[in-house]
Structure 1
Amino acid sequence: MRPWLEAQIDSSQIPGLKWVDKEERIFQVPWLHGAHQNWDMEKDAPLFMRWAIHTGKYHPGEERPNPRMWKTNFRCALNSLSDIVEVKDKCIRRDQTPLEFIKCCL
């Protein structure tokens, strides 16, 4: 997962997914709750959808989108990596939009 995720961060194609401190390997994952009134699959789930496609758990055009499952699978994959930890003291909420800062120790 790590090389794939770093490529996604470096691509700058997913809004909100970015390096906070590349030297320290700290990155930010936009994490808007699906029940939020402004939640939009196209805007708020592309990282999770890309992960589902990458892992073969979603085939666009062949099955219904399931962003809740994509997000769950992404979080489980992150949690399974012992050297990636959430930097809890840096998690913030701006305008009701949660941003998770996760440190990747390579």
Structure 2
Amino acid sequence: MALTLEAEQRLADAGLIEFFEANEPAWLGTAKQTKAFVAGNFPPGSLIRRDDVAKALYPLVEVNELLRDQLSADKLRGKFWIRFFVDLIIDRTWERLDEEDEQAAG
């Protein structure tokens, strides 16, 4: 799913956008690796969509200790926080993933 305004506002209010920005290189790297994994396992020539990557990224984010510690410290217990955070990662890194893929291919 795409990042909605409501989700972005909730993430901002909870301090999770600041948390993302403070750790952005790590999230970018995780998103790049996930997209490469998806691309390598989809049929050749398949269009890789945001939701394809998000689906594969979710279990990685779900067990990420930095995020788990942050959610615990802020007493954010709902599973929707992880979904919102995955959507944030995809939203904030997607264009750079495409650019880097195009540069590597070109």
TM over 0.5: no
**Which structure features the higher share of strand residues?**
1
Q: TM-score, normalised by structure 2?
A: 0.31
Normalising by the residue count of structure 1, what TM-score does the alignment of the two structures yield? 0.31
